[in-house]
Amino acid sequence: MSKWRVLIFLLCVFSITVLFKENDQRRILQKFNLPLDTDPFACGKCLTENDTWFLQRINQSVKPFLSPNHNLSEDTFNWWKLLQKEKRNFSHYKETVDMLFQIFPSIPDVIESRPQKYESCAVVGNSANLIRSHYGPLIDFHDVVIRINAGQTKGYETDVGNKTTHRIMYPESATDLDNTTHLVLFPFKIQDLEWLISALTTGFSGKWYLPIKSKIKANKNLVMVMNPAFMKYVHDAWLENKGNYPSTGFMALLLALHICDEVHVFGYGADKDGNWSHYWEKLKDTNLKTGMHPGIEEYQTIEKLAQKMKLTFYRGL
* Structural domains of the chain, count: 2
93 belongs to the catalytic site:
no
β-strands 260-266, 223-225 pairing:
unpaired
| Amino acid letter for position 229 | A
Higher pLDDT, 257 or 30: 257
The yes-or-no verdict on residue 5 having pLDDT over 80 is: no
The contacts of residue 50 (CB under 8 Å, 6+ apart) are none
Is 235 annotated to bind a ligand? Reply is no
Q: What is the pLDDT of residues 61-109, one digit of tens each?
A: 999 999 888 789 999 999 999 999 899 999 999 999 999 999 999 877 6
Does 265 lie in the same domain as 156?
yes
Is 275 annotated to bind a ligand? Reply is no
Does 66 lie in the same domain as 3?
no
The yes-or-no verdict on residue 47 having pLDDT over 70 is: no
Does 6 lie in the same domain as 68?
no
Give the CATH number for residue 98.
3.90.1480.20
Exactly one of 135, 170, 233, 245 is catalytic; name it.
Answer: 245
Is 142 annotated to bind a ligand? Reply is no
Give the length of the chain: 317
Answer for the pair 187, 193: CB distance below 8 angstroms, yes or no: yes
Does 26 lie in the same domain as 72?
no
The yes-or-no verdict on residue 285 having pLDDT over 70 is: no
Q: What is the pLDDT of residues 209-246, one digit of tens each?
A: 778 999 999 999 999 999 999 999 999 999 999 988 99
| Amino acid letter for position 241 | N
Which has the minimum average pLDDT: 141-150, 176-185, 206-215? 206-215
Does 102 lie in the same domain as 240?
yes
Its domain, for residue 307, covers: 40-314
Beta-bridged to residue 184, according to DSSP, are 168, 224
The yes-or-no verdict on residue 176 having pLDDT over 60 is: yes
Give the helix ranges, DSSP H, for the chain.
2-31, 52-55, 74-81, 90-100, 136-140, 157-160, 190-199, 228-233, 248-259, 295-307
Does 248 lie in the same domain as 268?
yes
Which has the minimum average pLDDT: 10-14, 142-146, 270-274, 279-283? 10-14
**Helix, strand, or coil here: 223?**
strand
299 belongs to the catalytic site:
no
Q: Place 276 in a pLDDT band, splitting at 50, 70 and 90.
A: confident
Does 48 lie in the same domain as 30?
no
- What does the alpha-carbon distance between residue 112 and residue 149 come to, in Å, rounded to a whole number? 25
The yes-or-no verdict on residue 36 having pLDDT over 60 is: no
Exactly one of 93, 170, 293, 314 is catalytic; name it.
Answer: 293
Q: Place 12 in a pLDDT band, splitting at 50, 70 and 90.
A: very low
Does 210 lie in the same domain as 296?
yes
Q: Would you state the pLDDT for residue 45?
A: 47
Is 209 annotated to bind a ligand? Reply is yes
